[in-house]
Amino acid sequence: MIVLEFSVVPLGTGDTSLSAYVKRACEVVIESGLRYSVTPMGTVIEAEDLGAALAVVRKAHEAVIASGAKRVSTSIKIDDRRDKERHMEDKVRALGI
């Protein structure tokens, strides 16, 4: 199971409010059908394989550009655990807090 966190930061928009661009990226995640969690600083998705997860990130990145951003910086963190199936909630629950 892949647990991937990413953030898409639009640059060159001419505005300090970026929510419209970020909303478009989130819509791509929702349309993907993957499990996800939106946080204040990024989005976490789960996928069966890395290719599927990265495809969603790429579409979200491209959607922000298509929305009018002149430049986009996308950061990605990947947890690829193959010895047993884990979900994003499991990672939080393992902290015991």
**Whether the Cβ atoms of residue 13 and residue 70 lie closer than 8 Å to each other:** yes
- Residue span of the structural domain in which 70 resides: 2-93
What's the Cα-to-Cα distance from 31 to each of 25, 28, 59, rounded to whole Å? 10, 5, 11
Whether 14 shows a pLDDT value over 90: the answer reads no
Q: What is the pLDDT of residue 28?
A: 97
pLDDT of 17: 80
Q: What is the CATH classification number for the domain harbouring 49?
A: 3.30.70.930
Beta-carbon contacts of 24 under 8 Å, excluding residues fewer than 6 positions away, are 60, 63, 64, 66, 67
> What pLDDT score was predicted for residue 71?
93
Q: What is the pLDDT of residues 18-69, one digit of tens each?
A: 889 899 999 999 999 999 999 999 999 999 999 999 999 999 999 999 999 9
Per the structure, the count of domains in the chain is 1
Q: In the prediction, which pLDDT does 15 show?
A: 79
